[in-house]
């Protein structure tokens, strides 16, 4: 019986990356794939997965193991290779991934691209059926701020600078009113929380009229309940999460439309998730409500950290807000737009809320 020419053989040589190091061993067969999957180089592990899936059940086992890889890029590659398989042992390992549609628009606001993306997440149980979904954000390097050619840019978005962000988790949505109420019922850490603070009522609408100090109290209570460290995102993490790999004024493209973002038109907040997410799986990063960041306000990026960390010791007691809201024109909803900040104890803005960040193990 002749061999199937498309079936890999144990002695096949398979390349461990597009540009392997000089004098690197070219490893073949399933044993070679195992060694490549143990590499410290993400690209090598990703390329090994594409070969592993050709090796039947043993190769499938390796791909499923990669769903717990330390790199979210490797995890997502593994997911892409098995997401359509129906075996029970495969399906039960895919519960912490979700798929979604991402669109981009042209300069006239017309959708010119639709594509499927997927992301990993975990769910925090807040009690009484209330859950908080946290999306895995891969680490990476991006240009923070806006180029001088960007329309409507502000001087405080300069100088544009390179920032490297470590992997972290970020709230899939802004904190909702039902989530706020659940955490407000937990034991006090430093200050009391009004469980019914919002002007626009609705369990799944974002909570608003929240001060920076109250957002910090929310994070402290949630951290104590869960044993994880919840916090406000740094300004760099927020912009990195908002851009999701894009360099245009909005993650949607050159502009936004009222069909895709809640900005100056509806005169109120909308339930979270009412519009399509960005490529990381984060919803409502443009418009709906302003979101507190952990950073103090600074007039420009001179001296800003380049590692994605929180930038403190700013101007007085003013804290950073990002994202724009239902009350603003598009120019204030841009990825790079920086509000001049508000006092940390300001709590009367019915367009100010927040979303949380968390740094935990990728193998949750």
> Residue 342's pLDDT is what?
84
The CB-side HSE value for 339 (13 A sphere, CA atoms) comes to: 24
Instruction: Check residue 172 and report its DSSP letter.
Output: S
**Residue 181 φ then ψ, to 5°:** -60, -40
Q: Measured between alpha carbons, how far is 77 from 81 in angstroms, rounded to an integer? A: 6
Would you say 207 and 175 are in contact if contact means Cβ atoms under 8 Å apart? yes
Tell me the C-alpha to C-alpha distance, in Å, between residue 228 and each of 103, 220, 282.
Answer: 33, 10, 21
pTM of the prediction? Answer: 0.89
Contact present, 292 and 145 (Cβ < 8 Å): no
Question: How confident is the model at residue 311, as a pLDDT?
Answer: 93
Beta-bridge partner residues of 119? 98
CA–CA gap between residue 38 and residue 58 (Å, rounded): 16
DSSP code of residue 130? E
pLDDT for the residue 7: 53
- CA terminus-to-terminus distance, the chain: 47
Residue 309 to residue 38: CA distance in whole angstroms: 30
Rounded CA separation 341/134 (Å): 26
Helix (H, G, I), strand (E, B) or coil at 183: helix
- The chain-wide mean pLDDT, for the chain, equals 91
Share of the chain above pLDDT 70, in %: 90
Predicted local confidence at residue 117, as pLDDT: 94
Instruction: Determine the pLDDT at residue 23.
Output: 38
Per-residue pLDDT at 341: 76
Q: Under DSSP, is residue 321 helix (H, G, I), strand (E, B) or coil?
A: strand
CA 156 – CA 153 distance, rounded (Å): 9
Q: What is the pLDDT of residue 349?
A: 86
Residue 137: beta bridge partners? 168
Span 313-339, pLDDT tens digits: 655 689 999 999 999 999 999 999 998
* Cα angle 51-87-91, degrees, rounded to a multiple of 5: 90
The C-alpha angle with vertex 278 and arms to 346 and 300, in degrees rounded to 5, equals 45
**pLDDT of res. 363:** 55
Report pLDDT for 4: 56
Look at residue 190 and give its three-state secondary structure.
coil
Which residues in the chain come in under a pLDDT of 50? 1-2, 9-18, 20-26
Cα distances from 16 to residues 23, 30, 177, 179, in angstroms, run 13, 12, 49, 46
């Amino acid at each position: 019986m002749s061999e199937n020419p498309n079936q890999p053989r144990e002695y096949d040589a398979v390349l461990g990356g597009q540009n392997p190091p000089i004098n690197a061993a070219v490893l073949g067969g399933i044993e070679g794939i195992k060694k490549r999957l143990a590499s410290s180089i993400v690209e090598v592990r990703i390329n090994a997965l594409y070969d592993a899936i050709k090796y039947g059940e043993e190769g499938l086992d390796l791909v499923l193991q990669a769903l717990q890889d330390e790199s979210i890029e490797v995890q997502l590659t593994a997911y892409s290779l098995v997401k359509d398989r129906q075996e029970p042992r495969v399906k039960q390992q895919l519960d912490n991934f979700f798929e979604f549609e991402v669109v981009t628009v042209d300069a006239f606001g017309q959708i010119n691209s639709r594509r499927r993306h997927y992301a990993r997440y975990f769910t925090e149980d807040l009690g009484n059926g209330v859950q908080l979904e946290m999306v895995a954000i891969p680490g990476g390097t991006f240009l923070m701020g806006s180029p001088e050619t960007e329309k409507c840019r502000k001087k405080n978005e300069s100088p544009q600078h390179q920032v490297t962000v470590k992997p972290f988790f970020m709230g899939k949505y802004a904190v909702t009113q039902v989530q706020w109420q659940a955490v407000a019922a937990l034991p006090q850490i430093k200050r009391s929380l009004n469980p019914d603070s919002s002007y626009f009522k609705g369990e799944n609408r974002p909570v608003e009229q929240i001060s920076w100090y109250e957002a910090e109290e929310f994070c402290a209570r949630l951290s104590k309940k869960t044993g994880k460290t919840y916090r406000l995102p740094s300004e760099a993490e927020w912009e990195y999460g908002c851009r999701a790999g894009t360099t245009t004024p909005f993650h949607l493209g050159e502009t936004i439309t009222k069909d895709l973002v809640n900005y100056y038109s509806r005169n109120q907040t909308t339930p979270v998730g009412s519009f399509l997410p960005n490529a990381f799986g984060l919803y409502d990063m443009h418009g709906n409500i302003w979101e507190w960041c952990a950073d103090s306000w600074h007039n420009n990026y001179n001296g800003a950290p380049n590692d994605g960390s929180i930038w403190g010791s700013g101007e007085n007691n003013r804290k950073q807000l990002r994202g724009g809201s239902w009350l603003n024109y598009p120019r204030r909803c841009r990825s790079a737009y920086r509000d001049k900040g508000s006092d940390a104890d300001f709590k009367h803005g019915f367009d100010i809320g927040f979303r949380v960040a968390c740094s935990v193990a990728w193998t949750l």
